[in-house]
Structure 1
Amino acid sequence: MFVMTDANQHELAHRMAELARTVAGPRSVDEVLTEVSAEAKDLIAGVDAAGVLLIGKGGRFQSVGGTSDLPQRLDELQMRYHEGPCVEAAVDELIVRSDDLRTERRWPMYSAAAAALGVRSALSFKLYTSSQTAGALNLFALEPGAFDAEAETIGAVLAAHAAAAIIASRQNEQLESALSTRDRIGQAKGIIMERYNIDDVAAFDMLRRLSQDGNTKLTEIAERVIQTRGT
């Protein structure tokens, strides 16, 4: 059974604490994922390149946080062939590992193309993101058999931090959108109150009725009212 040494556990705990502060700080999700990929390359022996693959609705994908251009090239191959460890981890499995892509049978087209680029080992971790996006933290090595149980343990912890960064970013985007919507509706109410000399309750009721009668979103009605200001 695999057991991390005390020194490794201490180092991992220290680096994860630093990374947790990074996730909590005012930084973009791309910046945090770049940091996660860099930590993976630094902390896990044998990693030659690391990055994150995000897959949205309709098969749209982003290759982010790469330590070089290699992860993006490999992500593009996987999306082209609709197979590979990163796609499999993002959509289905928790951890996907290949010790030698030259003899890998699970993804024949991708494996051959990746091996032609000199990649031998791959290790991917599912990210727990929203229902709108699937994702994986992906590690690559130019040597066969590069990854072991320790690599899987450290990578799983890093993947959890990457997922936290993505979730936090999505929540911030939703909050900003909600605040913006509330502000636009407030502006529209103010215009109506001034124009028709009515209170805020009556102004909001007018907006609501316009929305219902026209089968139009309240935010769109509010935007139209704002655009009529000064006319």
Structure 2
Amino acid sequence: MTQPTVDPADALAELGRIRLDETSLDEMLRRIAELANRSVPGTRDVSVTLVRGRANWTAAFTGDVACQLDEWQYEQHRGPCLDASASGDSISVPEMAAEQRWPEWAARARAVGVESSLSIGLPIQGSVVGTLNVHGAAANAFDPAAIAIAERFAAYAAVALANAHLYDSAATLAEQMREAMRGRAVIEQAKGIIIGERRCSPEEAFALLSKISQDTNRKVRDVAKALVNQAVRRTRA
């Protein structure tokens, strides 16, 4: 059995120390895969599958073999990682040579040196679920103690991913709101310029911006920004 290079308790502690304001969701996923690979006994490679609706993808992996085995499941719409993500359960394949549920996948796994696997469901947030997929180079690589460690790690990882997903969504929304406010500000500036030049109402100024936007196939915000920049250049000339 492959011996871990990181104590499982230390791996959980490291997960808990990750700061969401300093770590992207992609980086969080990569660290989860690496920590699982280094802390679960018997592990050769690890991948993290994410599922949103009918879309499945491998969000992080420690070796190409793990990614390839995931991709086959996505193409065929069946396999332990997809079943585990749907159920939230742990699915163990102790011996690829004796696997009857997904014999074609098991044969592919054996061909690339994987003789056992463990997929653990990750309920993350809302419509997003996933699995932690752990692959072993030997049959029966994951004894009950190793499975317990992997399941405990997955439970912590699911919480970390849920928090990271929420933080990432909130940060994206905040940036979208800031961008909208910046766009509104430049539109108001452009309206002011038009009002000053044409002695028209705010409604008429916005109507003019909209017409230029339609005629030039540009966003109103971009038209307004160009007008403001032009006014600034005239002032400086």
Q: Tell me the TM-score normalised to structure 2 length.
A: 0.72
Instruction: Tell me what 2:3 maps to.
Output: none
Partner of 1:4: none
Task: After TM superposition, give the deviation of residue 53 of structure 1 in Å.
Answer: 1.7
Q: Is the Cα–Cα contact under 8 Å of residues 51 and 137 in structure 1 kept in the other structure?
A: yes
Aligned length: 209
Q: Distance in 1 between matches of 2:155 and 2:136?
A: 17
Counterpart of 1:157 in structure 2 is: 156
Question: Match for 1:18: what amino acid?
Answer: E
Q: Give the corresponding residue for 2:24.
A: 28
> 1:207 Cα shift?
6.2
Counterpart in the other structure of 2:50: 54
Q: C-alpha displacement at 1:109, in angstroms?
A: 2.9
**Which digits, 9 at most, give the CA deviation of each residue in 1:137-195, with x for residues without a partner?**
21111122222242322333233323433333233222222222222222222221332
- What amino acid is the match of 2:25? V
Q: Structure 1 residues 192, 40: CA separation in 2 closer, same or farther (over 3 Å shift)?
A: same
Identity %: 25
- 5+ residue gaps, structure 2, are 1-6, 211-218, 232-237
Does the 8 Å contact 2:34/2:62 carry over to 1?
Answer: yes
CA shift at 1:228, angstroms? 5.0
AA at the equivalent of 1:109: E
Indicate conservation of the 8 Å contact 2:80/2:91, yes or no: yes
* Contact kept? 1:23, 1:165, Cα under 8 Å: no
Question: What is the one-letter code of the residue matched to 1:116?
Answer: A
What is the Cα deviation at residue 100 of structure 1? 2.0
For residue 169 of structure 2, what is the amino acid of its counterpart? Answer: R
Does the 8 Å contact 2:124/2:159 carry over to 1?
no
Contact 1:63 1:71 in 2 (8 A): no
> Matches of residues 1-231 of structure 1 in structure 2 within 5 Å?
12-56=8-52, 58-59=54-55, 61-147=56-142, 148=144, 149-150=147-148, 151-197=150-196, 221-229=220-228, 230=230
How much does 1:22 deviate?
1.7
| Deviation readout 1:105-132 (Å, 9 max, x if unpaired) | 3323322322322212222233333445
Provide the rounded CA distance (Å) in 1 between the counterparts of 2:59 and 2:45: 12
CA–CA distance in 2 between the matches of 1:102 and 1:115? Answer: 8
Distance across 2 between alignment mates of 1:206 and 1:86 = 57
Q: Secondary structure at the match of 2:124?
A: coil
CA distance in 1, matches of 2:59, 2:53: 17
- Match of 1:105, SS? coil
- Cα RMSD for the two superposed structures: 3.3
Cα separation, 1, equivalents of 2:136 and 2:204: 62
2:79 and 2:51 map into 1 onto residues whose CA distance is 13
Corresponding position of 2:214: none
**Matches of 1:167 and 1:47, distance apart in 2:** 30
Q: For the structure 1 residues 179 and 136, does the alpha-carbon distance in structure 2 shift closer, same or farther, using more than 3 Å as the test?
A: farther
The 1:166–1:181 alpha-carbon spacing in structure 2 relative to 1, beyond 3 Å, is same
- For 1:127 and 1:179, the matched residues in 2 are separated by 33
Query: If you compute each CA radius of gyration, which structure gives the higher value, 1 or 2?
Result: 2
Letter in 2 for 1:51: S
User: Match for 2:43: what amino acid?
Assistant: V
Aligned 8 A contact 1:52 1:64 in 2: yes
Query: Partner amino acid for 1:90?
Result: S
Separation in 2, partners of 1:117, 1:37: 19
TM-score after normalising by structure 1: 0.74
Give unmatched runs, 5+ long, in structure 1: 1-10, 212-219
Check 1:28–1:78 CA distance in 2 against 1; reply closer, same or farther (3 A cut). Answer: same
